[in-house]
Chain A
Amino acid sequence: MELMLTGFGMVADPAIIGVILLGVIIGVLVGALPGLSSPMAIALLIPFTISMTPIAAIAMLAGLYCAGTFGGSITAILINAPGAPPAAATALDGYPMAKRGEAGRALGLATISSVTGGILSLLILLLAAPLLARIAITFTSAEYFALALFALSMLASISGKSSIRNLIAGFVGVFLSTIGIHLTTGVERFTFGVNELYDGLPFVPVLIGLFAVAELLRQARVGETVFERVRANVMKLPSRGDIRRIKYTVLRSSGLGTFIGILPAEGATVAAIMGYNEARRWSDRKEEFGTGIPEGIAGPEAANNAATGGAMVPTLALGIPGSVSTALILGAMVMHGLKPGPYLLENQPQFLYAIFAAMLIANLAFMAIGIAGAKLFSQLTLIPRTILWPSVLVFAIIGSYAHSSSFFDIWVMAIAGIVGYFMLRFGFGPAPLIMGLVLGPIVEENFSKAMIIHDNSILSMMERPLVLLFFGLTILSLAGPVRSAIKARRNKKVLLATKEGE
């Protein structure tokens, strides 16, 4: 109880509440704007936090993360253009409901479901993170290596175009983390004589390049998009009837979203898709899905926001990010001198409560901001792209430069952006690369230690039950996409046979 009060006290500072609210406003804004994403906003916002205390910085980013996931639902409902990928499923029923003249009801359902999902997942964060940390504190480097390997293997099944390409991007990310001085031997690796690379590839410029500049280059040839707008009156909170109708959907989706969030590398998008599918599977009105029914909004919205709290569990308890956005938050924590993982929760348990309080404030704030400003946020899509994207470029340049006042970092940002653009064209997403970049040092450090302890023998490592379990999970997570591929091939054959029959 005392720890909880201390944690809450750390956030109960007007300045910290102010930065959380700022993070929420930026999050809803970015979430609502198609093309901009929460990871991009977090990457661009990290440089702004350089002079903040670690608590203020992480609270602001966590607030942005929660609100960014919700923000996408506003434009998904009002203009059928999900501002963020996790809101794609919301548009399926949200937009038809809005077109029927019930935009306020749809927004209200999305808001209440999101807030409920977010808060329930925070409660699970509060219970699960210390337990997980207590288990993780007994891990040796072999277990940590196996766990990080499992997290990497999960990249094969994250939403993207290809499991093989996700894995390649993840391994490239891990490889990039090896650039610089090798900590145990002091040997320079892949620096090619560039002094600025001795400390490794600068993290923030790479993030900004991959998320912001690559997208900016992609937008260069996209014309101005004119969205068909649905007239939105004030947001209506769900009626008793609606609440009765969605309560089990919300609870189920919240549990599902939290669980998916806890899995390493899986994020809000997967949670939303599964939340929608499960809402449909459990519904008596399956055929009405897609026509604008409350369960079709509540399912994905509760799930995607629940994934935010869930994703914080492995991030804080293990130092293994649960999603791309939490990978960026983890990077920011390291930048602020924190070492996420079981020892952080062991030595500074109040930190968990502070993050909990920050995310709770964020959830309540986006409910208020969402109710008050949904109409305004939907109008943001009227900002011409010739103004929006130059603003992103200015933030990208200044954000890359700010950390070490070095033009070398702007070069890294520009090159990462161009490479990221071509990666996108060839089906390699930036998310697996960033996850790899964050997991890289953990994998290498623990691999090296485990190899020394176990006399360079992987077999000897596997005598430890948890190592064996994580290796088994790694094989299972790699087998998932193989199974899907076989199923897809079988479906293709059936389709071909049907076509030939016709």
Chain B
Amino acid sequence: MNQDANGQDAREAGLQDGPKGLLDGPDTILALVLIALCGLLYWVSAGFPEPGLFLGENVLPEHFPRLLLVAIGVLALLLPFEHRLEVDRWPLIRKARRAPIGASTFVTMGSLLILVGIGEWIGTILTIVIAAVGLPLLWGERRLMLIIPYAAIFTGIVTYLFSIVLSVYFEPGVFGLTLR
């Protein structure tokens, strides 16, 4: 089995260079961040307005989210010790965590946020055209004879399908681009 095989690899990896201490550093930080977030949201829930007198007989709006925040907080407390609890699976988590993120991931993330940020201004059609042309270029595709026909045909079909067939309103943006 792949999973068994992975598990075996993981066990081997864990045996070779697993953390020796009681707590795992990165997971301790992760747990602290989660607990801090839960604390913050718990505090936010304290500011919910009081429901009316009659409605107050129901379960109050903050009760359920607070129960969840406490549950998440308690589970987060276990994270620093997880390498000792889940010896089989934990090395796989560490492997994923240790893999370098890479500049291309950050550039893709940043570009996506910029594109969404300017999306309303440039309009829906231009947003998807930029996504179809920009991402291949960002990821190192230099065959313009591939990108240009792909972007033209693919975005054309998608735009037609949503704008005309499914009657979705497309924001025209400053350039006034619209199919309708």
Contacts and interface: CB of A to CB of B under 8 A. Distances in A.
Nearest to A168: B75
Interface residues of B, number: 83
B68 A178 contact: yes
B75 A167 contact: yes
A304 B83 CA distance: 31
Contacts of B64: 178, 444, 447-448
Contacts of A451: 59
B101 to A, nearest CB: 7
B176 to A, nearest CB: 17
A217 B116 contact: no
Interface of B: 1-3, 11, 14-15, 30, 34, 41, 44-45, 48-49, 51-52, 55-62, 64-65, 68-69, 71-72, 75-76, 78-79, 82, 84-90, 92-93, 96-97, 99-102, 104-105, 107-109, 112-113, 116, 119-120, 124, 127-128, 131-132, 135-136, 139-141, 146, 150, 154-155, 158, 161-162, 165-171
Contact of A164 (B51, B86, B107): B86
Contacts of B169: 405
Q: Interface residues of A toward B: which range?
A: 35 or more
Interface string A13-56: 00000000000000000000000000000000000101100000
A175 B132 CA distance: 35
A101 interface: no
Nearest to A179: B65
Contacts, number: 218
Contacts of A187: 48-49, 51, 61
Interface of A: 48, 50-51, 88-89, 91-92, 159, 161-165, 167-168, 171-172, 174-175, 178, 182, 184-190, 213, 216-218, 220-221, 273, 276-277, 384-387, 389-391, 393-395, 397-398, 401-402, 405, 407, 410-411, 414, 417-418, 421, 424-427, 444, 447-448, 451-452, 456, 481, 484-485, 488-489, 491-492, 495-496, 499
Contact of B104 (A174, A189, A221, A401): A221
B135 A389 contact: yes
**What is the interface of chain A mostly: helix, strand, loop, or mixed?**
helix
B68 A174 contact: yes
